[in-house]
Structure 1
Amino acid sequence: MDIITEKQKRYSKGITSIYKNSQLKPGTAIFKLNNKLLRFKIPIVTTLLEIREKLCKKIYIESCGEVSIIQAALFGNRIYLDNTIKDLFIITGIFHLLAISGLHVGIIISISFLIFSFLPLRFRYLAVSLTLIPFTILTGLKITVLRASLFAIFIFVALFFDIKVELRKLLLFIASLFLFLFPSSAFDISFQLSFAAVFGILTVIEKEKGLKSAILVPLGATLFTMPIILYSFGNFNYLGILNTFIMLPFIYLLIITGLITPFTGHFAIAPLITVESWIHKIATFLYKLTYSTFILNKINFYLLIFSLILILLFIILKKFTFLLLLLIIPLINFEKSNIIIFPNMIRSKGIIDLSGRKQVFFKGFYNDFKYKFLPIVAKFGIKKFDNGIIHIYDGQNLYFKIKNNFLLDICINKIDKNCKIVYMTKSNSISKKLLMSQNKIFIIYKNEVKSKNIYELKNKKCIILKKGEIIYDNGICK
Structure 2
Amino acid sequence: MNLNFTYKLLNGKKVELFFILIVLASFLPIHIILKFLLMIVIFGIFHLKNLKWYLIVSLTVLFFVSNFSVFIVDKELKKDGTYQYYSIGGVVEGVDASLGTIIFGKITGNIEGFRTNYSIEKEYFRMRLPFYSALISFRNDAIDKLYYGSNKQITLIPAMFYGEKRYISAKDTENFTLAGLNHILAISGQHVGIILLVIFSLLYKLPFKLKMVISSVMILLFIPIAGFKIPVLRAAVFVLIITIAYTFDVKVRMNKLILWVASLFLIVEPDVLNSPSFALSFLAVYGISQVDRDYFSDHKFLSGVMVGIYATVFTTPYILANFGMINLLSFLNSILISPFAFLIILLGIFSLLSVKLVIPIGILAERVTYNFIDLLSKITEFGFILKYVPVWVGMLTIVILFILSTLHYRYILLFGFLILFYPGKVNKLVAFPDLSHSRGYFLLGDTSEVYFEGSSYEFRYRFLPEYVKNGGGRYLDFGYIDVGYDTKFLKIAHPDQFSNRVCLDRNGCEIVLVTSKKALKKINLLDNTTYVTYSKKILADKIITPPYYLYR
Q: Give the structure-2-normalised TM-score.
A: 0.75
Give 1:456's aligned amino acid.
I
Once residues 435 and 181 of structure 1 are traced to their aligned partners in structure 2, the CA distance between those partners, rounded to angstroms, is 56
Contact kept? 2:405, 2:413, Cα under 8 Å: no
1:323/1:36 CA distance change after superposition, 3 Å: same
1:475 matched residue in structure 2? none
Between stretches 427-436 and 165-174, larger displacement belongs to: 427-436
Q: Secondary structure at the match of 1:204?
A: coil
Q: Does 1:137 align with 2:228?
A: no
Deviations 1:341-393 (A, max 9, x none): 2334253221211121111111222222222211111211411111111122x
Contact kept? 1:341, 1:352, Cα under 8 Å: yes
Q: Does 1:39 align with 2:145?
A: no
Q: Does 1:407 align with 2:407?
A: no
Using the TM superposition, give the Cα deviation of residue 93 of structure 1 relative to its aligned residue in structure 2, in angstroms: 0.6
Runs of 4+ in 1 over 6 A off after TM superposition: none
Q: Secondary structure at the match of 2:216?
A: helix
Once residues 167 and 94 of structure 1 are traced to their aligned partners in structure 2, the CA distance between those partners, rounded to angstroms, is 25
1:3-42 aligned within 5 A: 3-7=71-75, 8-10=84-86, 20=94, 22-25=96-99, 27-32=100-105, 36-42=123-129
1:276 matched residue in structure 2? 366
1:146/1:431 CA distance change after superposition, 3 Å: closer
1:288 matched residue in structure 2? 378
Using the TM superposition, give the Cα deviation of residue 45 of structure 1 relative to its aligned residue in structure 2, in angstroms: 2.5
Using the TM superposition, give the Cα deviation of residue 433 of structure 1 relative to its aligned residue in structure 2, in angstroms: 7.4
1:111 matched residue in structure 2? 198
1:290/1:125 CA distance change after superposition, 3 Å: closer
Using the TM superposition, give the Cα deviation of residue 140 of structure 1 relative to its aligned residue in structure 2, in angstroms: 2.2
Q: 2:387 aligns with which of 297, 315, 320?
A: 297
Once residues 244 and 11 of structure 1 are traced to their aligned partners in structure 2, the CA distance between those partners, rounded to angstroms, is 29
Q: Secondary structure at the match of 2:512?
A: strand
1:313/1:433 CA distance change after superposition, 3 Å: closer
Contact kept? 2:74, 2:87, Cα under 8 Å: no
Once residues 46 and 29 of structure 1 are traced to their aligned partners in structure 2, the CA distance between those partners, rounded to angstroms, is 11
Once residues 284 and 333 of structure 2 are traced to their aligned partners in structure 1, the CA distance between those partners, rounded to angstroms, is 17
Q: Secondary structure at the match of 1:357?
A: coil
Using the TM superposition, give the Cα deviation of residue 69 of structure 1 relative to its aligned residue in structure 2, in angstroms: 1.3
Contact kept? 1:105, 1:148, Cα under 8 Å: yes
Once residues 299 and 370 of structure 1 are traced to their aligned partners in structure 2, the CA distance between those partners, rounded to angstroms, is 18
Q: 1:181 aligns with which of 268, 280, 294?
A: 268
2:549 matched residue in structure 1? 463
Contact kept? 1:347, 1:364, Cα under 8 Å: yes
1:56/1:432 CA distance change after superposition, 3 Å: closer
**Residues matched between the structures, number:** 452
Once residues 346 and 156 of structure 1 are traced to their aligned partners in structure 2, the CA distance between those partners, rounded to angstroms, is 46
2:185 matched residue in structure 1? 98
1:175-324 aligned within 5 A: 175-205=262-292, 208-210=295-297, 211=299, 212-320=302-410, 322-324=412-414
1:441/1:158 CA distance change after superposition, 3 Å: closer
1:476 matched residue in structure 2? none
Contact kept? 1:457, 1:463, Cα under 8 Å: no
Contact kept? 1:428, 1:449, Cα under 8 Å: no
2:460 matched residue in structure 1? 370
Percent sequence identity over aligned pairs? 29
1:289/1:39 CA distance change after superposition, 3 Å: same
Which segments of 5 or more consecutive residues in structure 2 lack a partner in the other structure?
Answer: 1-68, 76-83, 107-121
Once residues 137 and 208 of structure 1 are traced to their aligned partners in structure 2, the CA distance between those partners, rounded to angstroms, is 38
Contact kept? 2:426, 2:445, Cα under 8 Å: no
Using the TM superposition, give the Cα deviation of residue 319 of structure 1 relative to its aligned residue in structure 2, in angstroms: 3.4
Using the TM superposition, give the Cα deviation of residue 321 of structure 1 relative to its aligned residue in structure 2, in angstroms: 5.8
Once residues 166 and 45 of structure 1 are traced to their aligned partners in structure 2, the CA distance between those partners, rounded to angstroms, is 35
Between stretches 225-234 and 146-155, larger displacement belongs to: 146-155
2:443 matched residue in structure 1? 353
Q: Does 1:160 align with 2:160?
A: no
Once residues 386 and 117 of structure 1 are traced to their aligned partners in structure 2, the CA distance between those partners, rounded to angstroms, is 59
Once residues 197 and 327 of structure 1 are traced to their aligned partners in structure 2, the CA distance between those partners, rounded to angstroms, is 15
Using the TM superposition, give the Cα deviation of residue 285 of structure 1 relative to its aligned residue in structure 2, in angstroms: 1.6
Give 1:296's aligned amino acid.
L
Q: Secondary structure at the match of 2:164?
A: coil
Between stretches 111-120 and 132-141, larger displacement belongs to: 111-120
Once residues 99 and 105 of structure 1 are traced to their aligned partners in structure 2, the CA distance between those partners, rounded to angstroms, is 11
Quote the RMSD (CA, aligned, Å). 2.8
Once residues 408 and 433 of structure 1 are traced to their aligned partners in structure 2, the CA distance between those partners, rounded to angstroms, is 19
Q: Secondary structure at the match of 1:54?
A: helix
1:333/1:37 CA distance change after superposition, 3 Å: farther
Contact kept? 1:385, 1:400, Cα under 8 Å: yes
Using the TM superposition, give the Cα deviation of residue 79 of structure 1 relative to its aligned residue in structure 2, in angstroms: 2.3
Once residues 238 and 119 of structure 1 are traced to their aligned partners in structure 2, the CA distance between those partners, rounded to angstroms, is 41
Q: Does 1:386 align with 2:462?
A: no
Q: Secondary structure at the match of 2:187?
A: coil
Give 2:146's aligned amino acid.
I
2:257 matched residue in structure 1? 170
1:338-349 aligned within 5 A: 338-349=428-439
Once residues 206 and 381 of structure 2 are traced to their aligned partners in structure 1, the CA distance between those partners, rounded to angstroms, is 49
Give 2:334's aligned amino acid.
T
Give 2:148's aligned amino acid.
I
1:344/1:174 CA distance change after superposition, 3 Å: closer
Give 2:230's aligned amino acid.
I
Between stretches 400-409 and 162-171, larger displacement belongs to: 162-171
Once residues 456 and 57 of structure 1 are traced to their aligned partners in structure 2, the CA distance between those partners, rounded to angstroms, is 45
1:125 matched residue in structure 2? 212
1:469 matched residue in structure 2? none
Q: Secondary structure at the match of 2:524?
A: helix
Which segments of 5 or more consecutive residues in structure 1 lack a partner in the other structure?
Answer: 467-478
